[in-house]
Structure 1
Amino acid sequence: MSFIEIRNVTKTFDGTNVLNNINVNVDEGTVLGILGRSGCGKSALLNMLRGMKEYKPDKGTVIYNVAFCPKCFRVEPPSFNGKKCDCGENFEPKSIDFWNSNRRDFAAVKKRIAIMLQRTFALYEDDTVIDNVMKSITGHSEEDTLQMAIELIEQAQMTHRITHIARDLSGGEKQRVVLARQMAKEPMLFLADEPTGTLDPKTAEQIHQAIINGIKAKGITMVITSHWPEVMQQLSDYAIWLDKGEIIEEGNPETVIKSFMDKVPLPEKKVEFTVGGPIVEMKDVKKHYYSIERGVVKAVDGVDLTVNEAEIYGVVGLSGAGKTTLSRILYGLTDPSSGNIDVKLGENWIDMTKKGPHARGRVTPYLGILHQEYSLYPHQNVLGNLSDAISLELPAEFAKMKAVYVLKAVGFDEEYAARILTKYPDELSGGERHRVALAQVLIKEPKIIILDEPTGTMDPITRIQVTDSIISARDEMNQTFIIISHDMEFVLDVCDRASIMRGGKILKTGLPKEIVEYLTVSEKEGMLKN
């Protein structure tokens, strides 16, 4: 008998099947990998297993076969049957029809499930790393709680940040703390939804290793979604390929991955494009913070950077290198500690370090930014997010036409793009929300576009479509792109030039191929350390 049985499950939103007659079993101690394109139903299935009320199946059942304590109602995996519970009673076998069970059994199962969500850093921002982890540990003495927290932080390779405030961490560091917090719950089932999609390869590998050591090696059952083939090969024991809510293929991960990757097209060949003169110039830009715990933090430390008009410029580097801070400084969201930042508007150079309508305010309407931790307006549908919510005043029919056009540019087919205009963000998958957020930036047709990890949650096919769209936007509209990314293939495919950052400094600038080679050699020689 399997630990989890998913039987004939169907889930529909607004008349569209996001899951259609899904049947799959998960044995205790195994890792089920789910891959597929954005919007295929991966996140919906995870949220259904997690017990999120909006994802209750319309048809079918989810059965948890557990060891159940009749005295304190604790549940554990089936291997605990016959063993003694902490309360002194013996565990007994029980099959719980998750979505049709009583409130007590439903809550007992849900309590024993941990989840890592894509692009969600659910931390206490004003607390230290160790305090964040300790708050997730229950049922232990203060001394044991402290020791457990230290061990979990070591597994997540965050010992060097143990006393740092959460808000001061980079995105990759926050993700590792989230992992430690979820492991601290000592779950019987661990769900991971694109846990490393927005991370650089080195940080992603650290997360994978922490998952292997903290989850898989301990025999904890796991279900993981990812668009990275190497994640599936490294972590999963059994894989399913979902497409439009249906299982296309299942079985050995390597076989399923090969079938899926055979469907990925090559990007369009990038034609030679002549860029203009400088449009962004940053000279000796610094951003230093002071923290009681850390002293002086040099997030950006003397950066010189020139970007040319209509250039697609990449900034790469490990998590915590200062890439996101640099992008926020350029956009005007974070003031530099010192240095010069000038942006060319028409024939005039505007000083971005000066506030006001005659300085930075003149340039802001011509800038667009997609944040790594993007957000959509939850009470606006997709059309509202692409028009009303960003003060884009267009006639109704023209707004719809333009919205569909820009949604096609970020990987939606025309029919589906038209259909999701009336959907709200929480009705979309994580990858779909990401693409709508990118469309929200592109629809205003800004002169300079800053994209922070634009392909983080995108499957390979969508990534190729976005690559082609960025190149087309540059070629047709003379737009300039500054792309913060860990995705080396994406940087190679889309960028004209790139720089590598480490410790707040730019180490090298050159052609993307040169930068990727430099990064690879540096990692092998141990030159780049987090």
Structure 2
Amino acid sequence: MTFIILENINKSFDGIEVLKDLNIEIKEGNILGILGRSGSGKSTLIHMLRGTPEYRPDSGKVIYNIAICKKCLRVEGPSKVGEQCECGGNYESESADFWNCDRKIFAAIRKRISIMLQRNFALYDEETVIENVMQALPEGDFEENLYEAIDLLEMVHMSHRVTHIARDLSGGEKQRVVLARQIAKNPTLFLADEPTGTLDPQTAEYIHETLIEGVKEKGTTMVITSHWPEVMNLLADEVIWLERGKVVEQGSADKVVNNFLETVPLPQKTGDHVIGEPIIEVKDIKKHYYSIDRGVVKAVNGISLTINKGEIFGIVGLSGSGKTTLSRMLVGLTEPSSGTIDAKLGDEWIDMKKSGPHGRGRILPYIGLLHQEYSLYPHRTVLGNLTDAISLDLPAEFGKMKAIYVLNAVGFDNDYAAQILDKTPDKLSVGEKHRVAIAQVLIKEPNIIILDEPTGTMDPITRVQVTDSILKARDELDQTFIIISHDMDFVLDVCDRTALMRNGELLKEGKPEEIVNELTLDEKKEMLNKE
């Protein structure tokens, strides 16, 4: 039965069209996948279906065909029409124009919708994992709710964290608890906006398994957005391909995904780049600290490596292998326990362990770093984030030209780059924010650039564009890149040499193809998608 109908939907933000003449039908119990690159309008559509106030359509209708109990205002899918409600009333058929209906019906529909948003961990930070899930369950017998909460946490592979405080969880763990909470609400409609876009492959697999078991197999209607074709093939009954707010194609997952993949270009390999002399020397570097629970933790344990000028050097490994700690020591954000780190500025070697203007302070302006948990200035425009907010003193018109140039380098075409300059970050998709954050590093033209998990939120097309921009920047500006990643496919495409870390130690160093042969089965499962 038809559950939701979108009729001639249009939506603009700041004069820029985001959704254009959208006409979609969603069947009850079906999984509709919305496929498209970052900025295609996927998140706007999800928020519009949810009833988020600022996403009210400019024109068109969102129709919910529902079964509603007029006695208690409980809403179900249309197949429940004629059945008896738990309160003793009966479910009646109603076709509700969502954004223009009675506010009580609007609220009743919203109450029956669960939503998972990308990079949004809506939890009670000071409460335990089990308490967070139990609060999402309907009022009832405490013991029954306790066991149901435990079952849900087992489903999302979080039963080993039931007593942990929510604020102490990792991002991937928080996302799994959020999923358990949303399933606990037993929704009529489940909305998932890029639920695994920023997660490592293993955590993403847990989320996908749970969506199949807890949503799809229960017959719950779901709309899921993603820029990853694999997600569409795994979960969706039907797929819509969005591009700049318009439907390019609609049909079976296999057909639409294959046509989408044909538009994904291959990275543009450049000729052999001449690698220069050493620019970073690391010798027997260690970072040990003491934990009450674990005793002495050897986060980095005796690593030595050399990175050459003009090289794209990858540091790979699973979460917890020590690669981010190593990158933080390279730029002086974390003090090593022992060992030496030297970086070359001009003809002089700088001791990176020595603080102050006569030590690493001399070279830090020439090192660009993109943290895994990057952040943009929320109240500044994209142009402000790229110029004023990073103290880049340029004439206004030249600053604008340079901003467009660097946005183009990370995958925005010139017209769209010009359009977003006056937008604040909250008007961008997560993938677009990620690219602006990379542009914020590149615009300063540093000698050395460290990118920590640079592909976390990127669609396949943008990943290729960023790969090309790194290769281009290396060739044209003679920049040196250090890529910290668990995305081995990206490393294979972009890096000249790679170091594999495991348990705080450097296991092997060599060409990316050689490192693949050293990966364990678990590492291949989490780091490599192409095999």
Task: Give the 5 Å matches for 1:8-407.
Answer: 8-275=8-275, 276-281=277-282, 283-288=284-289, 290=291, 294-296=293-295, 298=297, 300-302=299-301, 304-306=303-305, 307-336=307-336, 340-407=340-407
Structure 1 partner of 2:444: 444
Structure 2 partner of 1:466: 466
CA contact (8 A) 2:386 2:443 kept: yes
Which has the larger displacement, 99-108 or 234-243?
99-108
Residues 240 and 282 (structure 1), Cα distance of their counterparts in 2 relative to 1, 3 Å cut: farther
Question: What is the distance in 1 between the residues matched to 2:450 and 2:525?
Answer: 31
Structure 1 partner of 2:457: 457
The Cα shift of 1:235 comes to 0.7
After superposition, the C-alpha distances for 1:214-267 in whole angstroms (9 at most, x for unaligned) are: 221222211111122111101111001111211111001110011111111111
Structure 2 partner of 1:428: 428
Name the amino acid aligned to 2:299. V
Query: SS of 2:462's equivalent?
Result: helix
CA contact (8 A) 2:123 2:166 kept: yes
The Cα shift of 1:191 comes to 1.6
Which has the larger displacement, 423-432 or 132-141?
132-141
Query: SS of 2:209's equivalent?
Result: helix
Cα RMSD for the two superposed structures: 2.7
Question: What is the distance in 2 between the residues matched to 1:525 and 1:372?
Answer: 21
The Cα shift of 1:69 comes to 2.1
The alignment's TM-score, normalised by the length of structure 1, stands at 0.91
The Cα shift of 1:520 comes to 6.2
Which has the larger displacement, 108-117 or 397-406?
108-117
The Cα shift of 1:324 comes to 3.7
Structure 2 partner of 1:514: 514
After superposition, the C-alpha distances for 1:49-86 in whole angstroms (9 at most, x for unaligned) are: 12111211111111122221222222222333334434
Residues 489 and 128 (structure 1), Cα distance of their counterparts in 2 relative to 1, 3 Å cut: same
Structure 2: unaligned runs, 5 residues or longer: none
The Cα shift of 1:415 comes to 1.4
Residues 337 and 517 (structure 1), Cα distance of their counterparts in 2 relative to 1, 3 Å cut: same
Residues 335 and 2 (structure 1), Cα distance of their counterparts in 2 relative to 1, 3 Å cut: farther
Question: What is the distance in 1 between the residues matched to 2:408 and 2:302?
Answer: 36
The Cα shift of 1:8 comes to 1.1
Question: What is the distance in 2 between the residues matched to 1:160 and 1:505?
Answer: 27
Query: SS of 1:264's equivalent?
Result: coil
After superposition, the C-alpha distances for 1:429-454 in whole angstroms (9 at most, x for unaligned) are: 22212211111111111222222222
The Cα shift of 1:333 comes to 3.8
The Cα shift of 1:330 comes to 3.5
The alignment's TM-score, normalised by the length of structure 2, stands at 0.91
Residues 28 and 287 (structure 1), Cα distance of their counterparts in 2 relative to 1, 3 Å cut: farther
Residues 511 and 185 (structure 1), Cα distance of their counterparts in 2 relative to 1, 3 Å cut: farther
Query: SS of 1:403's equivalent?
Result: helix
Which has the larger displacement, 324-333 or 152-161?
324-333
CA contact (8 A) 2:200 2:526 kept: no
Aligned residues: 526
CA contact (8 A) 1:173 1:320 kept: no
The Cα shift of 1:521 comes to 4.0
Query: SS of 1:373's equivalent?
Result: coil
CA contact (8 A) 1:288 1:301 kept: no
Question: What is the distance in 2 between the residues matched to 1:85 and 1:181?
Answer: 24
Structure 1: unaligned runs, 5 residues or longer: none
CA contact (8 A) 2:497 2:509 kept: yes
Identity of aligned residues (%): 63
Question: What is the distance in 2 between the residues matched to 1:404 and 1:430?
Answer: 19
Query: SS of 1:3's equivalent?
Result: strand
Name the amino acid aligned to 1:283. D
CA contact (8 A) 2:12 2:18 kept: yes
Runs of 4 or more above 6 Å deviation: 524-528
Residues 82 and 197 (structure 1), Cα distance of their counterparts in 2 relative to 1, 3 Å cut: same
Residues 231 and 92 (structure 1), Cα distance of their counterparts in 2 relative to 1, 3 Å cut: same
CA contact (8 A) 2:285 2:341 kept: no
After superposition, the C-alpha distances for 1:123-144 in whole angstroms (9 at most, x for unaligned) are: 4445443344334334244323
